[in-house]
């Protein structure tokens, strides 16, 4: 007969040293899933170092990974000073663009006339290249944070609008009929049925927006800005400071990856089901 101490040890609570078997298995599985991507990234960095060193590529064209790493060590203060404005612009644009898209999607689902009137306008706005919109916004809003936030919001807006409209409509007719039989109001149908069915679609769009908002902020900084990662990219390019350029690009890419990972983590916690219509 197993004693209580043996049971506690098997559950990993005796002394706090051992972890439950399911937890260890889950972590091992997570590392196995990440191993190919990590190995590929390390392999590409090694290949980069070999090519640059083997062919004697000049530093002003393509620095080695070690030279880029040296920038993070010696000029880390410059990178971080320009990192925070880009982070603020990306987060603000992400929040504003997606919030407006969700509200418009709810309006479109409940008002077909509004959808027929304004949805084509949203499509048209999305077709205009963001690099062409940026100078106009800078002329209107100035060189502060506002135009960069608006650009980041615009680049996030359309994917979320399209996916949210589709998600709000992805409700089975039987469920809607049941809610009508129960005399549910439009608000109750929205909160209890439509929003629940739209969550997988919404997070599919948010994963896209989590990376594009960083792109939008950086593009906005290319046009009339003296701060941010975008401005630092322009300055490093024109002055042939390739190590700083590569380090800035790597920092921007890392920010986008962090956004994507955070969004995916929230999705796993919030959405524990997935519609068959979501890919």
Sole residue written with tokens 């309006």: 107
**Which residues of the chain have a pLDDT value below 50?**
1-2, 4-5, 7-16, 276-279
Query: pLDDT at position 276, please?
Result: 47
The rounded percent of the chain whose pLDDT value lies above 70 is 86
Query: pLDDT at position 13, please?
Result: 45
Query: pLDDT at position 154, please?
Result: 92
Query: pLDDT at position 196, please?
Result: 83
Q: List, in order, residues 6 or more apart from 88 with CB less than 8 Å away.
A: 145
The tally of CA atoms less than 13 A away on the side-chain side of residue 174 is 0
The dihedral formed by the CA atoms of 183, 189, 193 and 197, expressed in degrees to the nearest 10: 150
Query: pLDDT at position 9, please?
Result: 43
Burial class of residue 219, CB neighbours in 10 A (0-12, 13-18, 19+):
buried
- CA gap 226, 93 in Å, rounded: 19
Cβ neighbour number for residue 27 with a 10 Å cutoff: 11
Burial class of residue 2, CB neighbours in 10 A (0-12, 13-18, 19+):
exposed
CA 150 remoteness from chain centre: 16
Fill in the DSSP letter of residue 143: S
């Amino acid at each position: 007969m197993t004693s209580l101490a043996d049971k506690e040890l098997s559950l990993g609570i005796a002394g706090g040293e051992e972890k439950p078997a399911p937890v260890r298995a889950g972590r091992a599985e997570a590392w196995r899933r990440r191993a190919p991507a990590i190995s590929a990234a390390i392999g590409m960095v090694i290949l980069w170092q070999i090519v640059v060193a083997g062919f004697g590529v000049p530093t002003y064209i393509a620095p080695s990974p070690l030279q880029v790493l040296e920038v993070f060590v010696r000029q880390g203060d410059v990178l971080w000073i320009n990192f925070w404005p880009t982070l603020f612009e990306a987060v603000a644009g992400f929040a504003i663009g997606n919030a407006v898209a969700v509200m418009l999607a709810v309006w479109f689902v409940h008002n077909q006339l509004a959808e027929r009137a304004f949805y084509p306008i949203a499509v048209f706005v999305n077709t205009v290249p963001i690099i062409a919109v940026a100078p106009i916004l800078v002329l209107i809003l100035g060189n502060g944070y506002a135009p960069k936030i608006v650009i980041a919001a615009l680049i996030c807006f359309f994917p979320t609008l399209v996916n949210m409209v589709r998600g709000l409509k992805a409700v089975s007719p039987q469920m809607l009929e049941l809610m009508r039989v129960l005399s549910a109001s439009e608000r109750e149908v929205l909160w209890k049925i439509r929003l629940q069915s739209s969550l997988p679609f919404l997070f599919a769009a948010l994963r896209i927006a989590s990376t594009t908002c960083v792109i939008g902020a950086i593009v906005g900084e290319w046009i009339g800005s003296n701060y941010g990662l975008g401005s630092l990219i322009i300055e490093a390019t024109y002055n042939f400071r390739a190590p700083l350029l590569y380090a800035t690009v790597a920092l921007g890419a890392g920010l986008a990856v962090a956004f994507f990972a955070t969004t995916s983590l929230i999705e796993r916690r919030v959405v524990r089901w997935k519609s068959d219509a979501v890919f």
